[in-house]
Structure 1
Amino acid sequence: MVISMTGFGRSRVESVAFSVNVEVKTVNHRFCEVNIRMPRQLLKLEDKIKKKINQQLRRGRVEVFITIEGEGRITRKVRVDWKLIEEYHLFIEQARKKYNIEGKVTLQDLLNRSEFIHIEESDDGNEELESLILTATEKAVLLLKQMRMAEGEELKKDLLTSILQVEININELQKYAPQVVSSYKERLQKRMQEFVNGQIDESKILTEVAIFADKVDINEEITRLKSHIQQFLKTIEEQEPVGRKLDFLIQEMNRETNTIGSKANDSNIAKKVVDIKSLLEKLKEQVQNIE
């Protein structure tokens, strides 16, 4: 199935106490990479959120943004390191006496030291909030997937159009292949007549033509190209992510086309090779955006 890796989904789920907003967007990526931005106290839910996403998406860079509104979602507590404060105060007193330093340790001095006092935030294991977040995430991902599938259908149409154009060019290229050898035979005969005054050793010509024909034979490459096209058409209908497989097939088609270009000593074939490579380049760019 052709599914685009570009998409966006947004969901909002509410309860009496909370309102959860989730936005999910995806872009091209070789693997499935999920990055989540949400309040720190909810980081323990990260694995559960990723599991929800991975159930629906196989490839792409996934950006998730979660915001929460509502009272009571955060419990704040003041944490004081009394032992460290006592050691700090003792050090100050000892230093003041030892070096005859005037001055006192004030409350403001202690408040300015973040290692003594800090505020901890937690959601107190609110099950309602967790359920809302996972539900909103699932809805947003499903909406994103619908968008990716709709774009994938448009990509599929373009892919089919381009690959059929490649097939047409290959069929035309195949017609030119025999002409390369016959054209070479004619040129060889003409050159030999010029050198030997019309007395030609036919066996030498046939040997030379046979050697040339073997060097410029592109039938094997054409056969493989046609096979790759059939695999491409079959793969594009599979009910699973096909991006990597299609990318591999395009690479193989490009390799066979390059071989044909290096073998064939003919302007018509060279032109068709350029046309095919242009179409394959377009296909490659489109396939990069398929899951």
Structure 2
Amino acid sequence: MPVYSMTGYASAQHGTSAEGTQTPAAAHRLGLEIRSVNSRFLDLTLRLPDELRALEPQLRTLLTTRLKRGKVELRAAIESEGGGALPTPSPQLLQRLNGLQDSVQAWLPQAAPLSVADALRLCANANASTDQDWSSIAPQLAEQALDELIAAREREGQRLATMLQDRVAQLRALAGRATPMVPRLVEQQRQRFMERWKDAMALADGAVAPEAAQDRALTEATAFAIRIDVAEEITRLQSHLDEIERLLEKGGEIGKRLDFLIQELHREANTLGSKSAALDLTHISVDMKVLIEQMREQVQNIE
């Protein structure tokens, strides 16, 4: 199953015309677009004209059936395709406007009469109020736009998965560099403890038994080895990376699980840095945290 991003955009249009009409306003175009960005849950917003208001439950069901996460906005508009030409008002419509004007002025004598521009605008609005039935066209158009949106989210998801796999490979390489450092550090520190105790024994001039001094030095070296041992952190980090790769291979709704694993990776990288006993190990910890932060930013966009 593919990995899906929550970011995407798609649009679709459908034009209609009434046969036998002579007004440019008789042709109409339904435009529909869907935008989506990342969100913790599925957050839907539908902006529909009055002609499509009754279809909102059907469109909302369509979106919730196929989308699981993201802030999604569906916007639709019905426009006249008159090429910018002025409508030609019918005598019946002009007569109706005149009658309405007389009725208004009878109650409101101070009301201004309609201008030519007012009359043309009202006629255009009346013509735009088509009796076109969008109940079957709008859902089909929404389905088409949704298909394109999901395809766009899949392409973006594939790009994110590729980036995450690259960061996983880099983290594995850093973990591989860190693993052999600890035994070398432990051996170096053991040598330092032994040298210091030999110097102390020379100054003590036999006041302390050599065996006791050596045992104390070895005990201190062992305690130091335990403090800086990051084998457990490296093992857990490798395990989290294995799980991330498995989820990316599986696909589907993996965003929340990936987000949790990124938090765990950051925890292990922090612990590795706090146990660092060498500058090289500190640099590795910092490099790990940079890569993990890059992964965190991208995981926020995965469904």
Q: Which residue of 2 is the match for residue 55 of structure 1?
A: 65
Q: Write the distance in 2 (CA, Å) between the matches of 1:151 and 1:239.
A: 13
1:217-256 superposed matches below 5 A: 217-256=229-268
Q: 2:193–2:218: 8 Å Cα contact kept in structure 1?
A: no
Contact 2:36/2:70 (CA < 8 Å) preserved in 1?
A: yes
Instruction: Look up the match of 2:133.
Output: 128
- The residue type equivalent to 1:190 in the other structure is E
Between the aligned partners of 1:50 and 1:178, the Cα distance in structure 2 is: 60
Q: Deviation at 1:194?
A: 2.7
Deviates more, 1:205-214 or 1:246-255: 205-214
Find the aligned partners of 1:187 and 1:240 in 2 and give their Cα distance: 54
Task: Provide the C-alpha distance between the structure 2 equivalents of 1:273 and 1:245, rounded to a whole number of angstroms.
Answer: 23
Question: 1: distance between equivalents of 2:184 and 2:273?
Answer: 15
Aligned residue number for residue 2 of structure 1: 3
- How does 1:240-279 map onto structure 2 within 5 Å? 240-279=252-291
- The alignment status of 1:169 with 2:181, answered yes or no, reads no
The count of corresponding residues between Structure 1 and Structure 2 is 248
The separation in 2 between residues aligned to 1:175 and 1:55, in whole angstroms, is 51
Q: Deviations over 1:50-105 (max 9, x none)?
A: 1111222211111111012469xxxxxxxxxxxxxxxxxxxxxxxxxxxxxxxxxx
Per the normalisation by structure 2, the TM-score is: 0.75
> Any conservation in 2 of the 1:20–1:67 contact (CA below 8 Å)?
yes
Superposition deviation, residue 196 in structure 1:
2.4
Q: CA deviation at 1:41?
A: 5.0
Secondary structure class of the residue paired with 1:30: coil
Residue equivalent to 2:23 = none
Q: Structure 1, residues 11-51: CA drift from partner, whole Å, max 9, x if none?
A: 11344455321101111111111111111453332221111
Structure 1 distance, partners of 2:6, 2:169, is 24
Give the CA RMSD over aligned residues: 2.6
Amino acid at match of 1:32: L
- Spell out the pairing of 1:155-194 with structure 2 (5 A cutoff): 155-194=160-199
Q: 1:145 aligns with which of 111, 135, 150?
A: 150
